[in-house]
Amino acid sequence: MGAPKLNDSGIDKAVRLLDGWVGKLTWDRYLAMLEVEIGHKYTKAAMLRHPRIKSAWDHAKERAKDDTGVSVSRSAVETNKALERIKLLETRVERLTRENNALLEQFVRWSHNAVRGGLNLDDLDRPLPYAKPKEIR
């Protein structure tokens, strides 16, 4: 499934990112940083469909022509950090997906064994007994 349609909040983030851009501006760098900011991966075509983003891009591109090499290297470092963060988050999502699948399999196994052992779905769905919390002194 692709990224959701950009709402006003997402467009604001995308424009603010361009407003504060320092150094060489490329679509790959911008889209990588935007993915970190918004949490979804968008395409150049999707960004250009929004007039505010297109205008902010054009303005940032003009500003980037005047930037010095120092800014470019700082921007490259920021981009590398963003790409590292994306890789870390992708790895975390993969791990959590595996853990979730294992827990779902365990739940199915436990519920099957409970029903085979004489418990019915009403027994399994009963709320936990309420225990009064201990007073903190």
Q: One-letter amino acid identity for 88? A: L
Rounded Cα distance, 104 and 87, in Å: 26
**Model pTM score:** 0.48
99: number of Cβ within 10 Å: 10
87-96 pLDDT, tens digit each: 888 888 889 8
5-64 pLDDT, tens digit each: 888 889 989 998 998 887 789 999 999 999 998 888 999 999 999 999 999 998 888 877
Question: Domain boundaries in the chain?
Answer: 8-116
Rounded Cα distance, 14 and 68, in Å: 23
